[in-house]
Structure 1
Amino acid sequence: MIASGTSLPLDLADAVKQQAVFAGSETPAIRGADWRMATVATVNADGTVVTSDGITARRMETYSSPAVSDLIYISQSGNGNWLAWGRGSTSSFAVGETVTVRKSVSTSRASTITLAADPHLVINVVPGTYTVDSFLYYDADTGADLRLGWFAPASTTGAWFPNGSDSANTLFASTTNWGALGDFSVSTRPVAGVGAGNLMACRPVGTAVVTGTGQISLAWAQQVSSATPTIVRGHSWLTLRRIA
């Protein structure tokens, strides 16, 4: 026992100090909560993941579709329990991220059946799987209609559905074009126009499996060439959500 007022030797004092620092760094009750990044090594069926350095962390409900090799954020409570918040972004379009673009002004196309990307409904993508949702607010001559398709990076696969009035319609009607297409960025499908100034809507949706970097854009033209413009109007929108 060291008497009161007696100083510890410097080397012993340093050793005690270092031991205190080490004990504090290893004891959550002393250290308090913290967070860091980790890589998932195992996904368990009970809602937890195990990191590559052996930490078992419970997933937040927002951390959906976990996968081995995910780069995630984890944090620890004062009592030592670990929580997995979710993925850190490893690209410009992360899994679980949703991107939406809206047409700010209308676009008119007349006397053309050549498919072209809409100037506003374009989103940059990286390799991955995306759900596709869109709303088109348009009008077209009865004979011209509106032909829809998609532009995407080469080798993109998937399926889509135009979800609009059948092109045979010449008046406002409830007949919907239920035909789906088993590809993406290949086949096109028309929806009806019922006369200039008669506003219509359709809701093209689908799934795109992208293997390259580039853009997904909603492409359109007239189904039959007409001097009366087909117009896709402002307030139309396109949404992509990356799911894998």
Structure 2
Amino acid sequence: MSSATQRAFIDAIAAQAEGVGQDSPKVRGANWRQATVATVSASGTITATDGTIARRLETYTTPTVGDQIAITQSGAGDWVAWGRLATGTVTVGQTIGVRKPGFTSRASVTTMADDPHLTLAVTPGEYALDAFLVYDGAQAGDLKLGWTVPAGSTGSWWPGGPDSGMTALASSPRWGALGDVDTSTLPVGCQGAGILLACRPVGTFVITTAGTVALSWAQQTTSTTATIIRGQSYLKMTRIA
């Protein structure tokens, strides 16, 4: 056998070995890559669009067809799905939220305006809303609440606070709710400057176009004593569908 033939033979064997190694996780070791979910199994696995079957981690909740995920392979060839990758879209089961870092004070104003901190960017989907507001103000002024939402949004909400006619801290809560999220407002009561109260607005929002959801608020009745929403208040939204 000539040296050239020997060289070609050796190169062919090397190429074949390299190809086998690339295809065998036992040779190449563990690996990870991106994948797109094609189907979801009740047994705890997902199947990617390329046919790879991977078992979900416990932290990968509410898997959905079309999810962009990270999967990893062990040296033995088993695949595990770590979870969703950031795509710029709020996914089903994901919670987004923001904490108010300081107070905002508004006096002698009944015109609604967005809170400078309690604002969230959302993408189309159905959301459960949960907010916690710490506030104070004059009984004469109260706190009027509403929402700024992307065009076409629908839903219902409840302010979860004391009635605007309250005269004492033991007054009844406001039970009235609203069947829209983009036009109407609801007030909750104040007890006096420096007397901290809390309300817990909740609701379900259906967002049809990407945009911003913001808490909008003002005084219910104009008062020179400021109505204040305090720091440590928060706004959260969880996508449920």
In the aligned structure 1, how far is the partner of 2:47 from the partner of 2:83?
13
Stretch moving more, 34-43 or 119-128: 119-128
Q: Which residue of 2 aligns with 1:62?
A: 59
Percent of matched pairs sharing the same residue = 52
Per-residue Cα deviation, 1:51-82 (whole angstroms, up to 9, x for no partner): 11111111112212212111111111111111
Match of 2:17 among 13, 16, 20: 20
Alignment of 1:1-244 (within 5 A): 9-91=6-88, 93-173=90-170, 175-244=172-241
Residues 64 and 92, structure 2, Cα contact 8 Å, conserved in 1: no
Question: Which residue identity lines up with residue 163 of structure 1 in the other structure?
Answer: G
Which 5+ residue runs of structure 2 have no aligned equivalent?
none
Q: CA RMSD in A?
A: 2.1
1:220/1:12 CA distance change after superposition, 3 Å: same
In the aligned structure 1, how far is the partner of 2:178 from the partner of 2:188?
14
Question: Which residue identity lines up with residue 161 of structure 2 in the other structure?
Answer: G
Give the paired residue count.
240
Which 5+ residue runs of structure 1 have no aligned equivalent?
none
Question: Which residue identity lines up with residue 140 of structure 2 in the other structure?
Answer: G
Stretch moving more, 46-55 or 207-216: 207-216
In the aligned structure 2, how far is the partner of 1:169 from the partner of 1:31?
71
Per-residue Cα deviation, 1:9-54 (whole angstroms, up to 9, x for no partner): 1111111111111111121111111111111111112111111111
By how many angstroms is 1:94 displaced? Answer: 4.9
By how many angstroms is 1:220 displaced? Answer: 0.6
In the aligned structure 1, how far is the partner of 2:121 from the partner of 2:38?
30
In the aligned structure 2, how far is the partner of 1:239 from the partner of 1:126?
14
In the aligned structure 1, how far is the partner of 2:125 from the partner of 2:170?
38
By how many angstroms is 1:96 displaced? Answer: 4.5
1:182/1:28 CA distance change after superposition, 3 Å: same
In the aligned structure 1, how far is the partner of 2:104 from the partner of 2:88?
32
Query: What secondary structure is seen at the aligned counterpart in 2 of 1:163?
Result: coil
Given the two structures, how large is their TM-score scaled by the length of structure 1? 0.89
By how many angstroms is 1:174 displaced? Answer: 5.3
Question: Which residue identity lines up with residue 33 of structure 1 in the other structure?
Answer: A
